[in-house]
């Protein structure tokens, strides 16, 4: 905590520590991680002030949505191209020419934002703002930079010499960073930060009452914040189990898909619930017994915090494939390679329900080391031990 003496008074004025959290809108998970960190930091200390920005969208509100929409179309229409680009650049950081181009196109005012907000630390949950702040540091801006890698793998674009600390999901990611030349003392294994609500366990009865759900085996199907799980085969197959299994479909911001499902007689059943974007996924995960989802780093981490078994549908090339592999190897999820996998889990829900519940309780005891305050504590420790001259 910083204390300043008011001139001519002898009174002490407490100045809150400022934490600037930067993300980008390429997928919902990066920004969710930033807001989760913001919440954890403020819960941990009343002497911390936070601000979250999607940097490109903030600086260029007209251009950024066009680029993000183009990115959406590319990953849905040309996934093989995305996979090729991901693997080709896998071990390469963002080069200085690309960083300079990004800076001139989108981030020319970043320096003035930093000087205006005077953060005690900048935390980045996306590689592009991390690279931009790294460039500013090379140009003389003196501010600690903490980069939070929001997947269970590490692409080269996350890595910059100017990053003062990396917060990573697992020891495996830590080792990958070390193998690429990052010194071990710059890396802390904290788990991916999720909102503290995911670590709480409210009354299931109250949740069921709020959402008008029944007390029966329940499957939560999430299409991600962008609603990109467009393959209807799994959704339709799941709906066929509606007499014995309760189904909650959360379609994110995909209003078109939601309207289509609501008009389809297949989904117009008492045990099927269709929802759009919601900020109460933590409650829905609490009452669900199985989660069907795309393996985004943030969703997987939220599922991990809830101990819920996960079935991974149609991972996008790159990070999602690596996330899927990690959670499968850890015994916390399984890819949907065929409808037989879904059938197996539906039968397990009906015939081995107690075993699924017991396994979930065991997982909850094992994942305490991933508590969200780990990341927040690391950031506060950086703030308290570093001074930033302006």
Report the pLDDT averaged over residues 95-121: 73
Confidence of residue 29 (pLDDT cuts 50, 70, 90): confident
Cα(first)–Cα(last) distance of the chain, in Å?
18
Strand partners, 3: 14
Beta-carbon contacts of residue 61 (< 8 Å; ≥ 6 apart): none
Is pLDDT at 60 greater than 50 in this prediction?
A: yes
pLDDT attached to residue 252? 84
182-200 pLDDT per residue, tens: 999 999 999 889 998 999 9
Mean pLDDT of 336-362: 94
- Looking at every residue in the chain, the average pLDDT score rounds to 84
pLDDT of 255-291, one tens digit each? 888 898 999 999 999 999 999 989 999 999 999 999 9
Dist CA 130 CA 317 (whole Å):
22
How much is the pLDDT for 9?
Answer: 46
Q: What does R_g of the chain's alpha carbons equal in angstroms?
A: 22
pLDDT at 390: 35
How far apart, in Å, are the Cα atoms of 314 and each of 223, 229, 290, 384?
10, 7, 17, 43
Q: Please give the Cα distance from 207 to 198 (Å, whole number).
A: 14
pLDDT at 14: 55
Position of tokens 């991390």?
Answer: 130
227 — pLDDT class (breaks 50, 70, 90):
very low
Place 309 in a pLDDT band, splitting at 50, 70 and 90. very high
pLDDT in tens, 135-169: 899 889 999 999 999 989 988 889 999 999 999 99
pLDDT of residue 229: 47
**Does residue 64 register a pLDDT over 60?**
no
CB-CB contact of 94 with 157 (8 Å): yes
b or e along 93-130 (b: 16 or more beta carbons within 10 Å of the residue's beta carbon)? bbeeeebeebbeebbeebbebbeeeebbbbbbbbbbbb
Closest CA to 375 of 128, 50, 153, 146: 146
Structure tokens, 113: 């934002």
Q: What is the mean pLDDT of residues 18-35?
A: 85
Q: What pLDDT is stored for residue 387 in this prediction?
A: 46
Q: Tell me if 136 sits within 8 A of 110, measured CB to CB.
A: yes
Query: Strands 2-5, 12-15: parallel, antiparallel or unpaired by DSSP?
Result: antiparallel
The reported pLDDT for the residue numbered 57 is 65
How sure is the predictor about 80, in pLDDT bands with cuts at 50, 70 and 90?
low
Q: Tell me the pTM.
A: 0.82
């Amino acid at each position: 905590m910083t204390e300043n003496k008011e001139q001519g008074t002898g009174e002490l004025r407490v100045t809150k520590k400022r934490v600037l959290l930067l993300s980008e809108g390429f997928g919902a998970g990066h920004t969710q991680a930033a807001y989760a960190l913001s919440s954890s930091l403020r819960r941990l200390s009343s002497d911390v002030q936070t601000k979250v920005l999607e940097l490109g969208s903030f600086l260029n509100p007209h251009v950024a949505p066009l680029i993000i929409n183009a990115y959406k179309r590319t990953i849905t229409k040309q996934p093989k191209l995305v996979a090729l680009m991901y693997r080709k650049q896998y071990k390469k950081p963002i080069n200085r020419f690309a960083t300079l181009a990004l800076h001139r196109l989108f981030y020319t005012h970043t320096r003035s934002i930093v000087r205006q907000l005077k953060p005690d630390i900048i935390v980045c949950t996306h590689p592009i703002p991390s690279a931009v702040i790294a460039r500013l540091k090379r140009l003389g801006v003196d501010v600690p930079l903490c980069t939070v890698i929001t997947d269970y793998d590490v692409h080269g674009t996350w890595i910059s010499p100017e990053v003062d600390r990396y917060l990573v999901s697992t020891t495996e990611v830590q080792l990958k960073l070390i193998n690429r030349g990052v010194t071990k003392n710059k890396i802390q294994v904290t788990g991916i930060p999720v909102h503290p609500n995911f670590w709480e366990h409210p009354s299931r009865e109250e949740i069921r009452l709020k959402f008008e759900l029944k007390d029966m085996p329940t499957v939560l199907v999430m299409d991600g914040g962008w609603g990109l799980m467009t393959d209807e085969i799994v959704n339709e197959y799941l709906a066929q189990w509606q007499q014995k299994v309760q189904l909650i479909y959360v379609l994110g911001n995909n209003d078109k898909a939601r309207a289509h499902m609501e008009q389809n007689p297949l989904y117009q059943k008492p045990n099927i619930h269709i929802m759009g974007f919601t900020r109460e996924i933590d409650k829905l995960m609490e009452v669900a017994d199985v989660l069907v989802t795309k393996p985004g780093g943030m969703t997987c981490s939220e599922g991990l915090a809830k101990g819920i078994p996960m079935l991974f549908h149609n991972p996008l090339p790159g990070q999602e494939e690596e996330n899927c592999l990690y959670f499968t190897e850890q015994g916390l999820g399984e890819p949907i390679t065929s409808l037989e996998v879904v059938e197996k889990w539906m039968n397990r829900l009906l015939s081995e329900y107690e075993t699924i519940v017991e396994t979930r309780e065991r997982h909850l005891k094992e994942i305490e080391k991933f508590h969200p305050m780990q990341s927040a504590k690391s950031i506060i420790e950086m703030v308290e031990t570093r001074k930033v001259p302006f």
